[in-house]
Amino acid sequence: MSPPHSPFTRFVHSESFAGLLLVCTALIAFVWANSPWRDVYFAWQHTHLALSLGNARLDLSLEHWVNDGLMAVFFLLVGLEIKRELLIGELASRRRASLAVAGALGGMLVPAALYAALNAGGPGAPGWGVPMATDIAFALGILALLGPRVPLGLKVFLTALAIVDDLGAVLVIALFYTSGLKLTFLALAALTWGLALYAGWRGAFSLKLYGVLGVLLWFFVLQSGLHATIAGVLLAFAIPIRQPTSAGYLASLAEAAKPGRGELVGARLRDLEDLLERAQSPLHRLEHALHPFVTFLVLPVFALANAGVPVSAGGFGVVSLGVLLGLIVGKPLGVVGGAWLAVRSGVAALPRQVGWGHMVGAGLLAGIGFTMSLFVANLAFGDGSLLTQAKLGVLLASVLAGMLGAGWLLLTSRRTLPGGESASIP
């Protein structure tokens, strides 16, 4: 069991609150879109906001500002988490990474195949990427509600699984949900990213520098035809994770800590605070700064803008059924099947105190695809009845996956061993 105030425990608690906040905002959007005030809901979505700088002008609807702008910040945070986990986190261990990668690959391929089998050759065919994603905030929120009944190793596995899943979703968006490319802006984006990579390689620790480069990169990617959110992930991989040089840092800290006259105490304290903050790597500083912003603003606003599904407009169709089967049936089959193959082949092992019954529960919870699935649905269908069907399938599947996953884990964790450890269904 991890210490009560370990970084991972604090992360799980934060994600559980994020899940609760998402549930509330999604419910508000759904009720609003099906209420007598539905016209107000759709009117604010399509209200345009323009920004001008000299001759350059960017005119987007509020819905597009949310999905292309705010969500780029979300993808920046996702990219930072992926880089951290790959270098120093759970994915840095080959056996743990192998289990998460195998489970995530199965959890992406099987749902996509089920959806494609139902919608092949039809108008809903482009939506095969919708049931591939996992919403980490919802999934970890449910695990947190189950408390000590669930082994910590299962939470670690599900976190790593969701991170690999997010990386897969980013690749799918970049490769398959991209419009015609504009080579001039693509070259400018590549040049800007190259500058960011060079700054990171040279050890530039100023977040303001990466902020300026990030805004430019976002604009060029948006204009190039790639989805603008890809800029967030690209920028994340440029931001360094190493800390400042220890010798220079310690010398500065010692100088700032020297006793001085009373009127200088306040200034010295500010110097010490600044030095202690700079002791962290730029990646950690940015990740910590973005996490509350994404939790309390970006994701709730995204849910409010995208979860408003007017049930009467499109109804439940073959697209909804494909998404539902992909997330409810395909996810657990793919996650457990991929993990079983990895363990069977000897390249991975189950986490401590985690049995296959727990893994089935994790597979069911992985079917909660809310944030990323809604995002891919917007890219696949644009506006219209097919988008409504896809969103309805995502919402229904996410609710069912959460209920089934929580119920299954309660059953598998009910019995306890003499030492107090949870016993799982083999």
Statement: residue 331 has pLDDT above 90: yes
- pLDDT category at 131 given cuts 50, 70, 90 is very high
267 touches 258 (CB < 8 A): no
Residues linked to residue 59 through DSSP beta bridges, in sequence order = 50
Q: What is the pLDDT of residue 363?
A: 94
Check pLDDT > 60 for residue 109: yes
Which position has the higher pLDDT, 426 or 52? 52
**Which one, of 306, 363, 300, 358, lies nearest residue 330 by Cα?**
363
Categorize the per-residue pLDDT at 7 as very low, low, confident or very high, splitting at 50, 70 and 90.
Answer: low
pLDDT value of position 261: 46
Contact at 8 Å (CB) between 274 and 71?
no
pLDDT at position 323 is 95
Does the pLDDT value for residue 406 go beyond 60? Answer: yes
Residue type, 124: G
User: What pLDDT is stored for residue 418 in this prediction?
Assistant: 37
pLDDT in tens, 379-388: 888 777 898 8
pLDDT for 383: 74
DSSP character at residue 406: H
pLDDT for residue 415 is more than 80: no
Q: Answer whether 366's CB lies under 8 Å from 335's CB.
A: yes
Cα–Cα distances (Å) from 336 to 166, 362, 400, 407, 415, in that order, read 18, 8, 18, 17, 22
Instruction: Give the Å distances, CA to CA, from 334 to 15, 81, 102, 324, 340.
Output: 24, 24, 9, 15, 10
* Closest residue by Cα to residue 94 from 83, 86, 104, 105: 86
Question: Is 62:341 a contact under the CB 8 Å cutoff?
Answer: no
% of the chain residues with pLDDT over 70: 81
- pLDDT class for 336, splitting at 50, 70, 90? very high
Per-residue pLDDT band for 150 (boundaries 50, 70, 90) equals: confident
DSSP 282-348: HHHHHHHHHHHHIIIIIHHHHHHHH----HHHH-S-HHHHHHHHIIIIIHHHHHHHHHHHHHHTTS-
Using an 8 Å Cβ cutoff, are 243 and 280 in contact? yes
pLDDT band at 176; cut points 50, 70, 90:
confident
Q: Please give the average per-residue pLDDT across 340-350, as a whole number.
A: 91
The 8-class DSSP code of residue 422 comes to: B
Distance of CA 396 to the CA centre of its chain: 20
**Band of residue 263 on the pLDDT scale cut at 50, 70, 90:** very low
Q: Cα–Cα distance between 189 and 204 in angstroms, integer?
A: 20
Mean pLDDT, the chain, as a whole number? 81
Lowest model confidence (mean pLDDT) among 56-60, 195-199, 296-300: 56-60
Domain ranges of the chain: 7-178+285-412
> Under DSSP, is residue 137 helix (H, G, I), strand (E, B) or coil?
helix
CATH superfamily of 7-178+285-412: Na+/H+ antiporter like domain (1.20.1530.10)
| Residues 26 and 303 sit within 8 Å (Cβ to Cβ) | yes
Is the pLDDT at 410 greater than 80? The verdict is yes
CA–CA gap between residue 199 and residue 108 (Å, rounded): 35
